[in-house]
Every structure is written in structure tokens, then in C-alpha cells.
Chain A
């Protein structure tokens, strides 16, 4: 493995972990389902996709690169779709979005 590949793998792994940490923090800390889905679906999709592409660059057993890229494509499609279905179900059941309480508005 040459230096450029190693640098790309390290950069993609660091980016992926950063996005995964952001998505998890959003899922834990944000106030309602809509904002939580907003944080976790996008950040987790990008984070997991970055880590999987880094693994595909690393190489491994036979045909693993194609399978890793297939996994990245699968996550890109399924993560936002799932979040959309859940948020739509909450919206159609009449859930109201969270608002900042009036006494804490700037």
C-alpha cells in the first residue's frame, strides 16, 4: 500500500468516526423525534459510508471490495428511507414538532 492510499484511508476513517459521533450525540441529546431523525439519518449514513469506503480501499479477501461498496450503497439508500418512514408516521399521527419554550427565547 502506497502513501497516498494510506493517507486516504486514514482521512476517511477519521471523517467517518467524526460523523458517527455527531449522529450519536444528536440521537441522544436533541429534543424530539424529528430533530433526532434529522441528525442520526444523515450523519450515520455519511459516517458508515466513509468507514466502508476506507475498508474497500484497504483491500482484503476476494471480492470484498465490491461487497463493501455494495454495503455503502445499501446504507445510502436505506438509512434516509427508514428515517423518512418513521418521521412520516409520526407526522401523520399528528405529532407536533418541538418548539423552544417562550421563557428561554433570546
Chain B
């Protein structure tokens, strides 16, 4: 079962490199943010697979923190691209 999990982790890692190509190619800012977000999701999956292979429970905590950071960063970047500011108050 361990070699099957290694194969899954390798495949997901290769797919993440494919998404990295889109993050480089663009063409718009939202495309890049979306691609980086997808790379983050795949990294989270790889971390979970590695945690199961190695039996290290703390890697799952790392994965949860990684997913939350990924979410907050994508939301903030999307809002900044949409409105040009980060706070909810109107500009002076």
C-alpha cells in the first residue's frame, strides 16, 4: 500500500507543476492567483499523503495551517484586485 501512496503523491506533484505553468503564463492576474491557489490545494494533498506514509501526525496540522493560509491569501488578493483596497471603508 505504501508504494501506491508514493505513486499518488508523485502524480499529484507532477500535476502541481502543470498548474505552475499556468501561473507563469497568466495572462491575467486572476489567472495567476487561481493557479497558485490550485497549486496550494495539491500541496495540501501531498502533505496529507506523506503524513499517512510516514505516520507523522504533525504533518496534518501543517496541512491544515497551509490550507487556511492559502484560503485567506487568495481571498485578500481577490478582493484587492477587485476593489483596489483591502479595508471596507471608503477611501478619503
A residues with CB within 8 A of B: 10, 13, 17, 20-21, 23-24, 27-28, 33, 36-37, 40, 44, 48, 51-52, 55, 58, 60-64, 67-68, 70-71, 74-75, 78-79, 81-83, 85-90, 92-93, 95
B75/A28 in contact, CB under 8 A: no
* A55 interface neighbour in B28, B52, B56, Cβ under 8 Å: B52
B residues with CB within 8 A of A: 1, 4, 8, 11-12, 15, 18-19, 21-22, 28, 30-31, 33-35, 37-38, 41-42, 44-45, 48-49, 51-52, 55-57, 60-61, 63-64, 67-68, 70-71, 74-75, 78-79, 81-82
A82/B75 in contact, CB under 8 A: yes
A48/B71 in contact, CB under 8 A: no
B64/A85 in contact, CB under 8 A: no
**Complex-state Cα separation, A67 to B42, whole angstroms:** 17
B19/A27 in contact, CB under 8 A: yes
**Complex-state Cα separation, A71 to B65, whole angstroms:** 10
* A82 CB, nearest partner CB in chain B, Å: 4
**Complex-state Cα separation, A52 to B60, whole angstroms:** 11
* B17 CB, nearest partner CB in chain A, Å: 9
* B33 interface neighbour in A58, A74, A86, A88, Cβ under 8 Å: A86
Q: Which residue on chain B has the smallest CB distance to residue A17?
A: B11
B57/A62 in contact, CB under 8 A: yes
Chain A residues within 8 Å of B15, by CB = 20-21, 24
